Amino acid sequence: MRTRPSSGQQVRTADGLVWPWYRYAPPVTESATFDPLAGDFGDEAYREAVIDLLGVIAYGELSAFERMVDDAEMAPNLQAKMALAGMAATEFGHIQPLLDRISALGADPVEAMQRFEKPFDDFHAHTAPRDWLEGLIKAYVGDGLAADFYREVAAFLDKQTRDLIVGSLADEGHAAFAVEQVRAAIAADPRVGGRLALWGRRLMGEALSQAQRTAADRDSLTALLAGGIDRPGMDLASISRMFSRITERHAERMSALGLDA
């Protein structure tokens, strides 16, 4: 374990960000007595933003879990159903550590999730898949988009929170199944490609519009991206670069599926 340098000293993190060392939370020790509030989370706005972020990710995973299990009912066979249900169960498994962290930060995890029910429920209401392939694409593309976005934001957080978030985004290889199924369907009947490409664009549009609405509603999240006196943040140019990166990765996923972005 490294010793802590004097307060205010800056370090360069693995992803190249200069970061005030004192923002590093203590090494992850799942001890009941560990109280982040007493330590490095003195900045109340930062703490609230982290709670919001963990809440939005947790509720996003819960609602994705529910929708994927629903969508798994459209599976053409039991094997396919197991695969999508497995993807859902993986998401569900990521929720509890996020909620535990919210509790450790002194907030009510259910309340933290509740704030984000509406945007996600709206997103799912607007993107109910009409068949198995649309459901698969939604799982793959939606998950990927969310993961890209949260990873971008996580780069601005203390190491402990960042590791927790990045860990909660691992898909454990389930995405390969979606790619394989969609490609096989297009190979069997190339006409479905046009409809599914449209579907992918619609998912992207709905996700962006809900994300924007959420950011507008929750000042803490935008403040997190904007940074603070002693915290690096994003200016408009870097926010626009972030959206370019997210859009690019979306296009890569669509192309992996054999679809035009």
CA distance 251 to 225: 24
74 binds a copy of itself (CB under 8 A): no
Instruction: Give the three-class secondary structure for 128.
Output: coil
Cβ 133 to a copy of itself shortest distance, Å:
20
Residues contacting a copy of itself: total by CB under 8 A:
26
Contact assessment for residue 253 and residue 141, using Cβ atoms and an 8 Å cutoff: yes
If the CB atoms of residues 78 and 229 are measured against a copy of itself, the closer one turns out to be 78
18 binds a copy of itself (CB under 8 A): no
| Type and span of the H or E element at 56 | helix 44-72
> Which 117-156 positions form the footprint of a copy of itself (CB under 8 A)?
117
Determine how β-strand 18-20 pairs with β-strand 10-12: antiparallel
Contact assessment for residue 34 and residue 104, using Cβ atoms and an 8 Å cutoff: yes
* Residue 178, both tokens: 């979606």
252 binds a copy of itself (CB under 8 A): no
Among 15, 35, 73, 248, binds a copy of itself (CB under 8 A): 73
83 binds a copy of itself (CB under 8 A): no
Give residues with Cβ within 8 angstroms of 223, minimum separation 6.
45, 49
Cβ 94 to a copy of itself shortest distance, Å:
11
31 binds a copy of itself (CB under 8 A): no
110 binds a copy of itself (CB under 8 A): yes
Residue 203 identity: L
If the CB atoms of residues 112 and 182 are measured against a copy of itself, the closer one turns out to be 112
Contact assessment for residue 39 and residue 25, using Cβ atoms and an 8 Å cutoff: yes
Site residues (vs a copy of itself, CB under 8 A): 59, 62, 65-66, 69-70, 72-73, 77-79, 81-82, 85-86, 88-89, 92-93, 95-96, 99, 110, 113-114, 117
